[in-house]
Amino acid sequence: MADDWVLDGDFAKYEVPKEYRWDNGTMIKFEKWVGDITSDLNPIRIQVRKPLRIRVKWRVFYLVRYESAYPISTNLSNQSTWIEKGSSIYFNASPTIRLLDEGVRVVFQGWRGTLSQTSPCLMIKEVDRPLDLRAEWKKQYLLSIQAPDEAKIRDEIWMDSGASYEVYAPPIIPLSNDSRLIFIGWAGYECADPLCNITSISKPINLEARYRFEWLARIHVVGYDGEPVEGVSLVLRCGEDSMKLGSDSTIWIYEGNWLIENATWKGFDVSPRQSIYIERELQDVSIPVRVFKAGFRITDYLGFPVKGAEVSVSLMNGTILYEGRTADNGEIWNVGPLPPCDLMVRVKYLWFSSSRIFNIGSSRPITVTVPISLTTIYISAGIISLFTALIMFAAYRKKKEMLRQEYEEYYEIPPEYPPPSPPVMEEEETEEHVIVSVEDVLKEIEDEELKKLLKERRRRG
């Protein structure tokens, strides 16, 4: 504001800056001269004829600034601009939830700064001051919890970046009297215990509570012949899990390959050094161990089976494990159970004894030979009896021939003639006639004479 004295008729010239700016975000711009004279010229030159009063009319502007990490709708051309006082402006941050990537999103939290509100739509009908606005967004990550329905922890939660969360998985979930679910660990985040504490979330997490299905199964320890074996102690191992059990046990088991370890029976290592695959919900599980049953075949040197032979199987230190007798076929089966080591089999028969060291490797019968059997004795006795009878018969024939020769010295035997032809029978004859040959008569006479001769010789003797 200024007052100047000017001579009548002189010209006066006035000029003002086009705009003024202040650090508080306010600006004024020259609009025009108003008063006794109206003009939008700057500078202005006027001829003074009378006292005049003029003043400058200014347009007021305010600096409006806004920030948003994500696009918003507004009628402002730039994020920082001068807005004339009284103007209307708006900002709209919709949609308030925006998916950036799989499992990542941002959520609008509100407007902060000169004005503060949670609504995404900010409407200013008349700007009356400088404005510095900031749209606040919060990044969130999806925490997906996977688990069996029985665990009741399945969920999907959007977690703020940097937040923490705890989730608890039940260690044991009973399904029935003989089945259950066992918690075995978490997948997707490093947690060792059923209580998983997730801290400072900075990415999407797919957390899985892993359970395995277990059921009650009856364990039977069997030998290589499939027969039960009592008194066996062993360890079943699957991965890092192991359990110690006996011959007949009822245990919680799960599907998988189980390695049989440290199997002992009567102080012997009978571990099969193999694994077995246990199928899901198999109620009766047979565990094989290296316990055998043997078979023996006892024969003599001629190969004949030996019936009723005494068979005993013992350890090398003399401890007897089995005793029995052979059957009619000279065999004895199901001898055992026997351990997988060197064993001694002894066979006693009559006055003979035979032994052999063996180690069971298969189910084939083990052959043991004795010098002689009753069968051989019977056959030998029969042969001797036969030869004796033949010798006696030969002696009798020789003696009979000698008697015949002595008889022929006293009697002249007529020459032999061929027998006469039989008479022709008529067709009508039905009667049969007895025909006696000369040979028959001579033989009868010969026998009678021999008898008399024998009696005479006995009398003389």
Using H for helix, E for strand and C for coil, what is the string for 271-331?
Answer: CCCCEEEECCCCCEEEEECCCEEEEEEEEECCCCECCCCEEEEEECCCCEEEEEECCCCCE
- What is the rounded CA–CA span in Å between residue 357 and residue 316? 9
Asked whether 41 and 16 are in contact (CB, 8 A), the reply is no
Count Cβ atoms within 10 A of the Cβ of residue 279 and give its class: 0-12 exposed, 13-18 middle, 19 or more buried.
exposed
Q: Is residue 395 part of a domain?
A: yes
Residues 296 and 368 placed together within one structural domain of the fold: yes
Q: Would you state the pLDDT for residue 394? A: 78
Q: Would you state the pLDDT for residue 430? A: 44
Residues 396 and 455 placed together within one structural domain of the fold: yes
Q: Is residue 73 part of a domain?
A: no
Q: Is residue 255 part of a domain?
A: yes
Among 288, 308, 324, where does a domain finish? 288
- What is the rounded CA–CA span in Å between residue 180 and residue 217? 12
Residue 75, token pair as written in the block:
């009628």
- Tally of CA atoms within 13 A in the half-sphere of 210 that contains its CB: 11
* Domain boundaries, position 333: 292-372
Instruction: Residue 141: name the closest of 118, 119, 165, 120 by CA.
Output: 165
- List C-alpha distances in Å: 392 to 378, 383, 389, 396, 458: 21, 14, 5, 6, 21
Asked whether 249 and 235 are in contact (CB, 8 A), the reply is no
Residue 164, token pair as written in the block:
């923490």
Residues 284 and 300 placed together within one structural domain of the fold: no
- What is the rounded CA–CA span in Å between residue 60 and residue 83? 9
Residues 237 and 268 placed together within one structural domain of the fold: yes
Who's near 279: CB < 8 A, 6+ residues apart?
A: 255
Residues 357 and 326 placed together within one structural domain of the fold: yes
- What is the rounded CA–CA span in Å between residue 91 and residue 81? 14
Count Cβ atoms within 10 A of the Cβ of residue 349 and give its class: 0-12 exposed, 13-18 middle, 19 or more buried.
buried
Go through 175-202 and write b for each residue having 16 or more CB atoms within 10 A of its CB, e for each that does not.
Answer: eeeeebbbbbebebbebeeeebebeebe
Residues 280 and 300 placed together within one structural domain of the fold: no
Instruction: Residue 266: name the closest of 323, 343, 210, 350 by CA.
Output: 343
Q: Would you state the pLDDT for residue 359? A: 80
In the chain, the N- to C-terminal Cα span, in Å, equals 201
Residues 266 and 297 placed together within one structural domain of the fold: no
Q: Is residue 284 part of a domain?
A: yes
Q: Is residue 400 part of a domain?
A: yes
Number of structural domains (the chain) is 3
User: Residue 273 phi/psi, 5° resolution?
Assistant: 55, 45
The total number of residues written for the chain in this structure = 461
Give tens-digit pLDDT for 128-140.
Answer: 999 999 999 999 9
Residues 270 and 326 placed together within one structural domain of the fold: no
Q: Is residue 14 part of a domain?
A: no
- What is the rounded CA–CA span in Å between residue 91 and residue 79? 11
The one-letter amino acid code at 153 reads I
The one-letter amino acid code at 287 reads I
Q: Is residue 200 part of a domain?
A: no
- What is the rounded CA–CA span in Å between residue 289 and residue 301? 37
Among 250, 271, 288, where does a domain finish? 288
- Positions of the chain with pLDDT under 50: 426-433, 438
Residues 349 and 406 placed together within one structural domain of the fold: no
Among 264, 288, 312, where does a domain finish? 288
- Give the CATH number, domain containing residue 305: 2.60.40.1120
Asked whether 59 and 84 are in contact (CB, 8 A), the reply is yes
Residues 325 and 364 placed together within one structural domain of the fold: yes
Q: Is residue 261 part of a domain?
A: yes
Residues 298 and 362 placed together within one structural domain of the fold: yes
